[in-house]
Amino acid sequence: MHDIYSCYKGDSIVMKAVGLIVEYNPFHNGHQYHVQAAKKAANADVVVCVMSGYFLQRGEPALLPRRDRTLMALQGGADLVVELPYIFSSQHAGWFAQGAISVLDKLGVDTVCFGSEHGEITPFIKLLDFLETKSQTYDTYIKAFSKQGYSFPKAASLAFAKLDPDKDCPDLSQPNNVLGYHYMRAINYLNCSITPETIKRTASHYHDKNLSGSSISSATSIRRSLIENSKTPDKIHNVVPASTFQVIQDFLNNGGHYYNWEQYFCFLQAKTLTLSSAFLSEIYEAEEGLHHRFQTLIKTHSSFQSFMTALKTKRYTWTRLQRLAVQVLTGTLKSEARLALETQQADHIRILGMNSSGQAYLNQIKKHIDIPVFSTLPKNKTPQQQLDEKAAMAYYTVLPPSIRKVKWDQEYKQPPIILN
């Protein structure tokens, strides 16, 4: 490990940690409530966040770079922020959850606390047991509904309803309940000594597109407002902490711009149209001939929005197709993904930032971590780290060459944020 972690000279008091699985795209008042409520519910000394890096679970580029979102998290109450490797961050709920839980397990957290629409942990425990005993029937129903042309999430939701679960079971048509179930399943599968806890989501719905009249709005509505009012973030002032607002303001004042799919569309289009169909079929997430449709339709559209609207079908959700677009953009092959997922969990921990409490906790547990811990990309990279590198390169392609080179160089040289 790097020398920055050995500077703490604390005592031998064992610190209790609660783990959060986050994207903070961007960090808002609802997230701050979650941090505070999770720390209280777990009676924890420190909050450890495993955060997606450049590309997110719904197949989107992060609105702001990883470093800015790390600063938001630390100023909002997190003590230690580490990165979720790319191979897990832009995946369906199962892999996303398994990668994140594996990181928190390696970091020795006592509790993982997730937000959910249901808001009570006991029904999630019952749900896990229920689906474990009905797994074969559940899978059979999912396959049957998939054959009828439903997308996987819809097929899974219909299959779950057909199992006739108890009324108090979490509703698996709700996105955070689905993630919560997969966190529970990952804890069970990896045999982790982590206690699960959940906090009920408040005020706004996950997919709400418009800012609410309260102090809590969805990240979707906040991103939409920021992109539509790209010169000033003033409209989100009441729904994010003052520290987040300042980070965004500084980001814009320093020449930053929000990252979104429209900026990447010309790169995606060029890459798709200059690769052979056979090569595209080897891209991760390109299944069932989907690459043919992808390559055909992208010729006739001038924006990502119109392309996706044409591409979407009953069988393939917008999110599923966006994840394919991410893999095309980063050039991630099925063979690379297989190697990266071979261990079925994270093979490294990358430190993004910490405060003094996070530094103390890391110093306390570092001897017990059995995978490499670092802050910048090493020269000899594992398959997961190779994909992390490709994601960083792809993310910054939209910048002018001189700035792009600086950002790429920082992947190998810039230390984590230390917030005192």
Please state the residue numbers annotated as binding site. 21-34, 115, 176, 201
Q: Which helix (H) or strand (E) holds 305?
A: helix 304-311
Using DSSP's 3-state secondary structure scheme, residue 283 falls into strand
* CB-based burial, 294-317: b 16+ in 10 Å, e otherwise: bbebbeebeebeebbeebbeebbb
Q: Are 368 and 310 in contact (CB under 8 A)?
A: no
C-alpha to C-alpha distance for 195 and 226, rounded to whole angstroms:
37
Q: What is the DSSP string of 343-361?
A: TSS-S-EEEEEEEHHHHHH
* CB-based burial, 98-115: b 16+ in 10 Å, e otherwise: bbbbbbbbbbbbbbbbbb
Q: Which residues are annotated as a binding site for ATP?
A: 21-34, 115, 176, 201
Tracing tokens 């790429």 back to the chain, one arrives at 408
Phi then psi for residue 170, to 5 deg, are -60, 140
Compute how many other C-beta atoms are within 10 angstroms of the C-beta atom of residue 371.
14
Query: Residue 225 contacts by C-beta under 8 Å, 6 or more apart in sequence?
Result: 211, 235, 236
Q: Are 65 and 37 in contact (CB under 8 A)?
A: no
Largest CA-CA distance found in the chain, in angstroms, rounded? 64
